[in-house]
Each structure stands twice: as C-alpha cells, then as structure tokens.
Homo-oligomer: A and B are copies of this chain.
Amino acid sequence: MSNVEYQPKAPAEPVEIHGDLNRWCANAIRTLAIDTVQRANSGHPGLPLGTADIAYVVWDRFLHHNPADPTWPNRDRFVLSAGHGSAMLYALLHLTGYDLPLDELLNFRQWGSRTPGHPEYGLTPGVEATTGPLGQGFGTGVGMALAEAMLAARFNRPGFPIVDHYTYVLVSDGDLMEGVASEAASLAGHLGLGKLIYLYDDNHISIEGNTDITFTEDVAARFRAYGWHVQKVDGYDQPAIAEAIRLAQTETTRPSLIVARTHIGYGSPHKQDSAAAHGSPLGEEEVRLTKEALGWPGDARFWVPDAVLEHFRQALDRGAKEQEAWGALLERYRRSFPDLAEAWDAAMSGELPAGWDENLPTFDAGGKPLATRKASEAALNAAAPYLPTLVGGSADLSVSNNTFLKGYADVNTGAFAGRNLHFGVREHSMGAVLNGMALHGGLRPYGGTFLVFSDYMRPSIRLAAMMHLPVIYVFTHDSIGLGEDGPTHQPVEHLAALRAIPNLWVVRPAEANETVLAWKIALERKEGPTALILTRQGLPILDADAVHGAARGGYVLADAEGGTADVILLASGSEVSLAMEAREALAGQGIAARVVSMISWKLFDAQPKTYRDAVLPPTVTARLAIEAGVSQGWHKYVGDGGDVISIERFGASAPYRTVMRKYGFSVENVVRHVR
C-alpha cells in the first residue's frame, strides 16, 4: 500500500543552487524517482539513481522531442528497455513538461494512474513502448530504427529530410542477457542501422547478486562482432557521455552501443552497488541519506528547484520550435513533391485507402485444392500495390510461409527502400521488431513463421496485444497436416495458446476464399494484432458466396438439408472441409448436419447473442467440434451434449494424410462420433 503521508515538501532551509546546474538536474531526476518509489512503497530505485546522468544527457542535449505533442512524427524515440526504471522515465516526462503532473507521480503504481509499475504505451504521454519484460525494448528499438530508415528511404529527398531522427534505448544487463536482444542486435548490425544509439547501464549487478555469478562475457566485443560501434564511458561523466553520443551520431552505418559504467543505487550510502537497491524502496531514512549524499536537502520530498525546473521546461519551447521548423519543411516538401507528400499523409494516417481491396482474388469453388498459405500469398500480393505501407517478411521461411511481395525489393544493409524483410532464424526478435515498426508509425508490418514457432515469439505477441498494435502474423503449417517433419514441427497446443492471449485475434480460415477474408479482417483491424493460421496442405475451395459470414468469426457454412439440424459440426481451418464431407456422408444416413466454420472465436464471441444463437441454436445440443489441436476451449461451444474430435498428445512423423487419418480426422470417425 502506498504511503500517502509521504507528501511533497520543500526544504526547511533555503537551498542555493550552486555549481553545475546539470548535476542538479540529474539529481532532480534521482530524487523525484526515489521519492516516487518511496511513496508508492513499491518500485525500483536502483536504476534511476544509477543512470540519471545518462538519461539527463540524452534528454537535455540530444533528444529532439516536443513534450506538448508526443505524436510529432519526426521526434527522436527514447525507449526505456529496462522498464522497471519507470520512475525515472516518469520523472523525465514530468520535468520536461509532458502532460504528467506531479499528482501522477504521487499516484505511482496505483489504480487508475498514468504511472504504472512498468511503462505502458498508450497510457502515458511520451511513453514510446510498453517495456518491462527484458529484452523486448531492445528489439522494439531496432524496429523503430528500421522503420525510420525505411521511411527515410521512401520519402526523403535532397534537402528534405522529413524523416530524420534517432532511436535511443537504455538497456540493462538483463536486457543484454535475453536471447531476443542478441537476435535483434545481430539483425541491427547486419542492416547497419546507424541511427540506433543504445546506452548500456553496465552496473555489474543483477537481482541474484553481482553479475560475476553468471554474466562475465565481454559485451563490448560481442557487439563489435555483431557489427556495432562500441564505446565505453563513465556513467557519471556528463561531458564524456555527451561526446560518446556525438560520436555515435557521426557513425552513420553502424548501430552504436555506449557501455556506461554505472553503479546501481548510486548515492545510496547503504545500498549502492548491491542488489538490494534494485527492486525495493530504499526506506525513508535511506532516501534521506541518499539525498544528502547527493548534496540535496535531505528533508525535501518531490522537490524540484525552480532553476532546475526552468531548465528542464526549456524542452517545451525548444520542442515547439523544432516541430515548427519541421512543419515548415514539410510544407515546402508538399509543394515540391505533392505526390510524395500525399503518400506521406496516407502512410502516417494509418488508414487503408479507399478501394484497396478491389483487386483481392476470388477462387473458384471446385478448383484444384489450394493450401491456405498459397491463397494468403495471392491475397497479400493483390493488396500490396494498394497498400504501400504494407511491409514484412519471415523468419527465414518466406518460401514456406509465402510471405514474399513479388516485384518489390528486399530491405538489406544500407538499402531500405524495399518492402521485403529478411529476419533470419530469429522469430522472437522478429516479433519485437514488428512491434517497433508498428509503434513508429508509417508502416504496416507483418511477419511469418511456422505456427509451431509462434512459441518462440510469444512475449512479443503479448506486448503487441497489450499495446493494441495492428501487427499481422502469418503462421503457416498449422497442424499435424504438415506431415513428415513430425511432432517437433506440428503445432497441437498453439491454437489454444494463442487464443488465450487477450486482444489477439486468431483467424484460421477454412480454404482459399476465407483466407482472403482473413486478410481483410487483419488489415482492417486497428486496435490489435491478428494471427493468420494457414495450412501447408491443399484444401478444397468453397464457393466465395458461401463464406461471407467469416467476417463474423463463425457462421453457417452449410445448413442441414431441410433447415433443421440433427447435429451441428463445428470446425476451423482444414477440418472444415472434413466436416463438409462428413455432412454429406451423414445425409446419406439420414442425419441432417449443419456445418459451422469457426474462423475466429474472439470475433464470434463479439457478435450479439441473437446472432450466436442463430448460428448455434440452443435447441440443437448434439454438437461435434473437429479441430486438429487440443480441445481446450471448445466445450464452451459444443456444450454438455457435445463432443470434440481433437488431439491431446503430440503429433507424429508421416505423410499428412496418414497422420490425419491415424489421429481420427476421417469422415468415418466423424460419422462414428456423431452416431
């Protein structure tokens, strides 16, 4: 529980702001942050104390931003990958004049505040990304810088650098230990993202103690091996930090890592350099002692000297002028390059242009069976010319995921005008990079891999859902139907696991025409990510007119003969065609079956009850769900009278028709279950 007695208080004695104002400014960040944590009686004082000088130098000397307009497109991005240091970020936002009044700091980590335990995008103005799960901010920053480079390549013209900003990311030991960060670092080094500047809080302490116990690699050498420009500085030498950042800026073809030697809990007489400073309030007495050690009045709380606040708030005036200058540049650009400017506006709006879907394919029913991954490729490529913001790729499986945009260039080292990305075998960082690109704005990113490997990127998918980012995942090879590659590659639990993520739409089309609708659903979505779940194997094509209902998540694909169903067969994806075959077989035995294609549970659940009851009439309790995955969750739809043909074990290596049959996905078995 927070300690509401812990109130703002000016120092009893007047305080002379002597010496270097910059030092006072850094200490204002420190003291605000530790007061914030102390009042909440919860939070992380160690990072703000340790890195305030670094953060101050970035924000004071380098960061181009306008606190009055956190949406200015050409602002520099600052991401606190070590999100547990949120109190420092809130202090910076408050001090520089964002709409984050002191009251919000006083409500740190309380219900309804804009100052949650870890920074949350969309909740707090100036917070560029939701961070906290380590490594995510690292990868997200790479995505932001990649988006910047891609937009710059598209829109900038000589004398018109309308996209021209840096991405600064503050990272911790924990970030650098996480695999997702390693992947992203390798990718950023490969691409040569020169405007990426990472500041590493090298404090030698992690939660379990000194990094000696587990983290003794040569981080600088590792990053050089990735192709990064690496410098080392004293984390308290502000001029040296500034010089390092300046040098990092002059390095335009390599990302930069600035290794700043710091001390966790800097200034705390009893907790500096110890894990105890990391994640618990210092305690009132230690807060007082820390302030005094920093040359701050020990009795002051949430106190910011006028000169300090005045200095910080210059960011407002400076930011307004910078944004205004940029606005003027954009106006000249509009006159010189009206078509480009129109494209720019369209890109930044995030809206789909009218008529974008006019060329989407329709597949003829009864045509040759088509894998939904192939139908997806056709839909994607039909939409691409209308949607220049649509960019993406795969984690080294584009030929299998069918994610390539034909006729468009690759994005590669120093060549950012293309639309096809190569993420390498790096699913997790692909997820984080997609998040960064979506956060940046101006691009609509997608990424593909096998469904089974969605597990590798779940932490990033979760954050996309939490941040309401309209990222699109293309997950192919969606069941035991992938065949010979066997159980390591056959997803069984992944539909359930993805459906469980709040705000992620999981869309598993039954065939080619539903796949086109699935892409429409995904592309028209603005408030969150969509996972398209696609087959490796060919599936019979349904009449395009029969599948319109897919947009509602679940619909009657084929009603019972005569309209009164004895049984309802529910299925998704490749099992829908099995249900259709079974319906025929049942009809031959005098059993009238309705087939419901459940392309997306979340979409169906969002329909009015009248609609849901029309699709699944409560009077028809004989229901059978068929899905080549675990049954978890299907009982909600089949009810007490229903049953599920599912898979409750891992798959097996064999040709897919064999595996499907052996696992019970045959007309005979469906008929037997119904009977």
Contacts and interface: CB of A to CB of B under 8 A. Distances in A.
Contacts of A429: 179
A424 B214 contact: yes
B426 A654 contact: no
Given A225-B217, A426-B179, A397 B207 contact: yes
A109 B466 contact: no
A-side binding surface: helix, strand, loop or mixed?
A: loop
A110 B652 CA distance: 9
Greatest chain B CB density within 10 A among A225, A452, A630 is at A225
A396 interface: yes
A427 B186 CA distance: 20
Contact of A422 (B174, B214, B641): B214
Interface string A106-119: 00011111001110
A635 B500 CA distance: 14
A529 to B, nearest CB: 13
Contacts of A394: 208
A502 B496 contact: no
Nearest to A278: B399
A484 B183 contact: no
Contact of A183 (B116, B182, B497): B182
A174 B43 contact: no
A116 B653 contact: yes
A168 to B, nearest CB: 21
Contact of A174 (B206, B275, B425, B489): B425
A26 B453 CA distance: 33
Interface residues of A, number: 116
Interface stretch (A11-19, A127-135, A545-553, A579-587): A127-135
A428 B130 CA distance: 21
Greatest chain B CB density within 10 A among A215, A462, A489, A500 is at A500
A99 interface: no
Interface stretch (A241-249, A256-264, A307-315, A655-663): A655-663
A500 B493 contact: yes
A488 interface: yes
Contacts of A252: none
A190 interface: yes
Contacts of A180: 179
B214 A118 contact: no
Nearest to A458: B455
B179 A398 contact: no
A655 B1 contact: yes
A337 interface: no
A349 interface: no
A109 B398 CA distance: 24
B502 A492 contact: yes
Closest 10 CB pairs of A and B: A179-B179, A116-B653, A182-B182, A132-B488, A221-B225, A111-B654, A493-B500, A214-B424, A222-B225, A117-B486
27 contacts: A2-B655, A117-B488, A118-B485, A118-B488, A132-B488, A134-B425, A135-B179, A174-B425, A175-B425, A177-B183, A178-B179, A178-B183, A182-B182, A186-B217, A207-B396, A207-B397, A208-B396, A213-B412, A218-B225, A224-B225, A225-B225, A455-B458, A465-B650, A503-B650, A632-B632, A632-B636, A633-B633
Given A494-B500, A502-B648, 4 more contacts: A178-B456, A214-B396, A497-B501, A499-B632
